[in-house]
Amino acid sequence: MSKEYTCLGMMSGTSGDGVDASIIQSDGLDKFTILKEKYYEYDESLFRDYHDLKKKINSSNDLKKYFSSIKKLENTITIFHAKVVQDIIKSFEIDLIGFHGQTIYHNPQEKISLQLGNGNLLSQLTKKKIVFNFRQNDIDNGGEGAPLTPIFHKYLIKSKKIELPACMLNIGGISNLTLIHNLSSHKITSQDVGPGNCLINAWIQNHTNKKFDFEGRISNIGKINEIILEQALENHENNFQRRKNISLDINDFDISFARGLSLEDGAATLTAFTAKIITSKINFLLREYNNKKIKILICGGGRKNKSLLKQIEAYSNKNLFFFNSEDFELNGDFIESQAFAYIAIRAVLSLPISFPSTTGCSSPCSGGEIIET
């Protein structure tokens, strides 16, 4: 009988607005129970400090240039996570913590994926076993360090008995798709498929005092500038057609092509741009199943943007059927934090967390640094 661990998973995605925290009990395989979940929003100062620094770091040279600022922010973010731990584990006895940290730079071409989060400091502050730095071992084994959640997506699709093939589409700052072909095979296809919320959020933050386009209401009343959209899509295609990368970073995209548009028209055009890129990639990745009905479960903050989802459905092949994760009793806000709790348990058990068909690594490999108390 496999041992079950109680693990806290903490995830702060590329939107950089706070920490999703999930306490689960699992064996890292087929046993899985959610015990508690809670979202902790960054205060305005931490939100701005992170996004201001992120904008400055566009190359590995910038990592050296802003080294002291990076380390200072890393300590601040780690202390924030320690406070999350102290709050959420009340009345729970946890065995370990899966600590993703906050991505500040991800460039698979340079074999760098840096998350702000000091595992040693978090262990000292919480007196708990920590698993962190999940991506480095995958990179060392020829992978791109992302995406890492597909093995958990496979568990969820299996647990809900969804007819295969089936997919999960996570729309965070970046969008990624996991395709489960069948349960008897270890093959899982996964890839980042385009921007998610990053461009829309950046536009809204630059032009209003809001952090995102709530339910897509701003873009919904705007008018798509078709000329600018087509040129932007053509430029994107030219820039990315030679790239073989599985993973993307928000620095791979920018909103400059929408400059000069009104708030509403810019939001509408960026939303259409995002939807077109996502669906073009999904249609391509699922081309072998054109004659089969495929269910795609959507999770992440982007699932709440009604304008974006409407366009994704409109541009997708007609054999694809999209569902909100909640339609299958899955809380789409916490799937990533659940995943890193699940992955942390697998790391402790030396089970693989990444695969050649998900990250491009040479063979299935485990990952994560483990800090004992």
Query: What is the 3-state secondary structure of 90-146?
Result: CCCCCCEEEEEEEEEEEEHHHCEEEEECCHHHHHHHHCCCEEECCCHHHHHCCCCCC
In 24-66, which residue ranges form alpha helices assigned H by DSSP?
44-56, 60-65
Q: What are phi and psi for residue 166, nearest 5 degrees? A: -145, 160
Quickly count helices (H) and strands (E) in the chain. 13, 12
5-145+335-371 to CATH, choices 3.30.420.40, 3.40.190.80, 3.40.50.300, 1.10.1040.10: 3.30.420.40
Q: What are phi and psi for residue 19, nearest 5 degrees? A: -120, 125
8 sits in which H/E element: strand 5-12
Contacts of 319 (CB under 8 A, 6+ apart): 289, 290, 291, 292, 293, 294
**Regarding the domain delimited by 161-328, which CATH topology (the fold level of the hierarchy) does it fall under?**
Nucleotidyltransferase; domain 5 (3.30.420)
Contacts of 207 (CB under 8 A, 6+ apart): 263, 266
Q: What letter represents residue 230's amino acid?
A: E
Q: Where are the domains of the chain?
A: 5-145+335-371, 161-328
Q: What pLDDT, on the 0 to 100 scale, is given for residue 244?
A: 66
Q: Are 271 and 311 in contact (CB under 8 A)?
A: yes
Distance, CA of 326 to chain centre: 18
Q: What pLDDT, on the 0 to 100 scale, is given for residue 171?
A: 97
Measured CA to CA in angstroms, residue 318 lies from 167, 303, 322, 346 at distances of: 15, 19, 10, 37
192 sits in which H/E element: strand 188-195
Q: What pLDDT, on the 0 to 100 scale, is given for residue 62?
A: 97
Q: Are 181 and 167 in contact (CB under 8 A)?
A: no
| Same fold: 5-145+335-371 with 161-328 | yes
Q: What pLDDT, on the 0 to 100 scale, is given for residue 351?
A: 96
Residue with tokens 């087929």: 30
Q: Are 117 and 101 in contact (CB under 8 A)?
A: yes
CA–CA separation, 228 and 236 (whole Å):
12
| Three-state secondary-structure class, residue 190 | strand
72 sits in which H/E element: helix 67-88
CA–CA separation, 335 and 170 (whole Å):
9
Residues of the chain with pLDDT under 70: 185-186, 242-245
Q: What letter represents residue 50's amino acid?
A: Y
